[in-house]
Structure 1
Amino acid sequence: MTYVNRASVMGIGVTFIVTSLVAVALRFAMRVRNKMGLGVDDWLSLAAMILVLAACSVFVAGSATATFGTHSPDIGMAIYTYENPKQELQKKLEYAFYALMVPGMAFLKLSVLFFYRRIFKISRIFTVCFWILTVTTVLWGISFFIAWLARCGDHPDNGYISLETLTTKCINSFYVLVTQSVFDVAVDIGILVLPIPFILQLETATRQKFAVLAVMLVGSLSMGCGIARMVIVAWILGTPLLTEAKLAGLPSSDFMGIVSLMVFWGMLELGVGMIAICLPTLRPLLKGANVQYMMYSLRSLISLNGGAGREGSRSDGSFRKESEDSEQGRAIEKHFEYSVTSTTSIAS
C-alpha cells in the first residue's frame, strides 16, 4: 500500500501533534471560560494527550530515520534471518510506539466514559454499566501493556535482531497484537452503545433524542480506524509466516513495510480518537455556541425525563425546575437542532 510512505508518516505525525495540542488546550480553555470546572474526563484527556504526543514523536522519528514508511529488500525467504541496523531500529521504534499506544487508548476510552458520567446521573443501571466498562478498560490497558513490555522476558534485544529471534525467543507477540486489536474494538463498541438505551428512553421529541445521540456518539469517528486496524492486523498476523505472496497489498517478505502499515493505522486511531473526545466541547466553540449551555441543556433534558426518584433528578433539581419553563424548553430545542446539524457535518 503506497499510501504508507515517509512523507505520509511525517505528515500524519506532525498533524496529530498540532491537532492534539490545540484540541486539549481549547477544551480546557472552554471549561475555564464558562466556569464549568475541570472534571475527571478533562484530566484524563490531558493524560491521553501526553501519550499521544509521545507516540507521534516516535512516529515522526520513524520517518526521519527512514524506518517507518520504507520497505525491506526483496530477498524472499531470506528475510526470516535477515539482520539490518535500520530494521533493528524500526523494531525498537515499534516497541516504543505500542508501549505508548495501549495506555494512550486506555486514557482516551476512560475520558469518554467519565464524560458520559458527567452527563448521565439518572440510573443505577447506567452506573453499573459504567463501572463494568471502566474496570474492563483499565484491565485491558494494564494487561496488554505488561504483555507487550515483557514479550521477550529478560532479553528484549531478541525482539529487534531478526524475525527469527522474534518468533523463536519471545512470546508470540503477533497474537498479542491481534488480541489487543480485537479487544480494543470490543471495548469501543461497548462504550459507543452505553448511552443509547438511556437516551432512547427519554420522554421527549425524537429529534431531541437524535441531537443528544449526535453529541454523545462522536467517539465513533475513531472506532472506524480501530476496526480497520483490527482487520489489517488480523489479516497480516493471522496468516502463517511467509506462506502467502502478498498480505494487505504488500509482499509477505516486506517486513518493514508490514510493520509500517500496522503502526500507521495505530497512529490514525490514536490521533483521530484524541480529536473525537474533544469534539463535544470544541464544535460549539467553532460555531460560537456556549459549551456551558450545551452541557446544561443535556443534563436538564435528561434530568427532566429521569424520574423524581433517581439520583440525577435529586442532584439536579434546580435544572429540572428551570427546564419546565416553556421559553427555556424552546431554547433547548433550538440548541439541539444546532447540535445535530453541526455534529452531522463533522461525521460527513
Structure 2
Amino acid sequence: MAPYQHYYEKPGYVIAACMVLSVIDIVVVVLRIWARLKKKEPFKADDWFIIPALLNTLGIGISMTFAVSQHALAYRTVIPADFRGSTTTLITPQIILASQVEYAFGLMLCLGLGCVKISILSFYLRIFSVTRETMTHKAMVGLTALIAAWMTAFFFTNLLVCKGNFWAYWSSAVNLQKFCPGTTYKSLVFAISDFITDVVILAAPIPLVWRLNMPTKRKIAVSVVFLVGAGSVVASLIRMVQIISLFRKGFNPNDDEIYLITTNLYWGMISCGVGIIAACLPTLHSLPKHWNLLTIVDSARSILKMSSRRSLLDDTDHPDTRGVAVGRPYTQNAGFSNTSVRLQSKKSYQHSLKPEEFPMDDLRGYEVV
C-alpha cells in the first residue's frame, strides 16, 4: 500500500513555497535596503544580518526546487525492480541526491534562522534600549549572544554529524545509523530550541510596546506588525511536532524516506522565508506614505466611515457630498513626529535619540510609562 502523501510532500506545493517565498524575501530585503539609501542612513547590524539570512534561504529554495525537478524530493522512493534486499541498505541516485540536499539544508537552516533571529534582536535593541544600563539592553544583548552561540553550535554539529565520514550521510540508512549516530536526536533538540527561541523573540517587544504612552489603537497596530513573525513560529512548531513524532515512533522501514526528508525541508523553508518577512516589515518605514501599513489601515477605516456617513446622508435627502476627501495622510497631530524621540523610564531619566537611530517613525514622540 502506497504511503499517504500530505500536501506539503507534493511537488507543486514544494516548488510554489520555494519560489513564492524566495521572491517575496528578495522584494522585502531590496525595499529595506532602498529605504536605508533613500534616507541616507548607514546600515546597522540588523540590516547586515538579514543579508546572509536571505542568501541561505535562497540557497534552501534553489536546492529544494532542483531536487524536486530531479524527483529526489516530493516523490516516492523508487526501488529498482531487481532489488531483493532490505530497504535499509538501498542506495540509489534518488536517495543520494535527496540526502545531499538534506545535509546542505541542515547547514543553511542553522545560518538562515540564526541570522534572522539576530537581525530581529538587533532591531529591538535599537528601538527599545535607551542606555546600556537598562535591563532591556542587557536582556537583548544576552539573548543575542545566546542565539549566536546556538547558531554556531548547531552549524558545526550538523557539519560534523558523521565525524568526517560525509559520504555516510548520503548513503544507506544502515550506514547513516552506523557512522552518524544520534542524527534524529540532534534534529529534535534543534527543532525544540528553535521553537522556544522563536516564541521568546516574538513575545519580547509586545510588553515594551504596551508600556509606551500612546493610544491603544496605535499599540495594537504596532503589535500586529511585530506579530507577523507568528507565521514563522507556526512553521517551526509544525516542524518540531513532525520530528517529535518521528523520534517517538523510531525508525520504521515502511516510512518513505523521501517523504520524510521533504516534510523536514518544506517547513524549514517556510520558517526561514516568513522569518525574513517578519524581520523586514517593521523597518520599511521610509517607504512612501501611501505604502505605509498604518496609513493604509487608517485610510481604509476613513473610507468605511465616510461610506457609512454618506449612506446616512442619502437616507435623509442630504445634499450631494461628492468631492469630500476620504483618505487623509497621517500628520504630526495624529501621532507621528519626525523630531528626536524622548523616552522616559520609570526612574524618570531621559535620553534623546537621533532620528536615524530610531527606525520606526510610527513610535516617535511616545514615552515609556
Interval of TM-score (by shorter of Structure 1 and Structure 2): 0.7 to 0.9
Report if aligned partners of 1:83, 1:162 keep a CA contact under 8 Å in 2.
yes
The 3-state SS of whatever aligns with 2:29 is helix
Q: Which residue of 1 aligns with 2:110?
A: 102
Cα RMSD of the aligned pairs, angstroms, is 3.2
Asked if 1:167 is matched to 2:177, the reply is: yes
Secondary structure of the structure 2 residue equivalent to 1:303: strand
Per-residue Cα deviation, 1:110-151 (whole angstroms, up to 9, x for no partner): 111111112112361111110121011111111111111111
Q: What is the Cα deviation at residue 33 of structure 1?
A: 1.4
SS of corresponding position for 1:22: helix
Worse-superposed segment, 120-129 or 85-94: 120-129
Task: Specify whether residues 299 and 277 from structure 1 end up closer, same or farther in structure 2 by C-alpha distance, changes over 3 A only.
Answer: farther
Determine if contact 1:133/1:190 at 8 Å carries over to the other structure: no
1:197-208 aligned within 5 A: 197-208=207-218
State the percentage of identical aligned residues.
Answer: 26
Q: Which of the pair is proportionally richer in helix?
A: 1
Report SS of the residue matched to 1:67: coil
Relative contact order, higher structure (CA 8 A, sep 6+): 1
**1:78 paired to 2:78:** no
Shift of 1:99: 0.8
Shift of 1:307: 5.5
- Matched AA of 1:2: H
Tell me the amino acid that sits aligned with residue 6 of structure 1. P
Residue 351 of structure 2 corresponds to which residue in structure 1?
A: 314
Provide TM-score, normalisation by structure 1.
0.80
C-alpha separation between the residues in 1 aligned to 2:347 and 2:39?
A: 28
The 5 Å alignment of 1:98-247 reads: 98-122=106-130, 124-242=134-252
Answer with 1 or 2: which has the greater Rg: 2
CA distance in 1 between partners of 2:160 and 2:227 (Å): 35
Give the AA of the match of 2:261.
Answer: V
- 1:10 to 2:15 alignment: yes
- CA offsets per residue over residues 18-63 of structure 1, 9 Å max, x none? 2221111111111221334322111111121111111111111111
Deviation, 1:281, is: 3.5
Structure 2 equivalent of residue 288 of structure 1 = 290
CA separation of 1:128/1:179 partners in 2, compared to 1, >3 Å: closer, same or farther? same
Opposite residue 6 of structure 2, the aligned amino acid is T
* Higher mean displacement: 296-305 or 69-78: 296-305
1:276 aligns with 2:286: no
From 257, 263, 267, the counterpart of 2:265: 263
The two structures have a TM-score, normalised by structure 2, of 0.75
Which of these residues, 27, 36, 42, is aligned with residue 31 of structure 1?
A: 36
Partner amino acid for 1:59?
M
**1:54-108 CA distances to partner (integer Å, 9 max, x unpaired)?**
1111111111211011122479993222221210111011101111111110000
- Counterpart contact for 2:78–2:94, Cα < 8 Å: no
**Post-superposition offset of 1:257:** 1.0
> Gaps (5+ residues) in structure 1?
244-251, 320-327, 334-348
Measure how far apart 1:218 and its partner are. 2.4
| Count of aligned pairs between the two proteins | 312
The SS at the match of 2:351 is: helix
Match of 1:254 among 247, 253, 256: 256
The aligned residue for residue 320 of structure 2 is: none
**SS at 1:153 equivalent:** coil
- Whole-angstrom distance in 1 between the partners of 2:354 and 2:20: 44
Contact 1:222 1:272 (C-alpha < 8 Å) held by counterparts: yes
Q: Which runs of 5+ in 2 are unaligned?
A: 294-329
The AA in structure 1 aligned to 2:226 is M
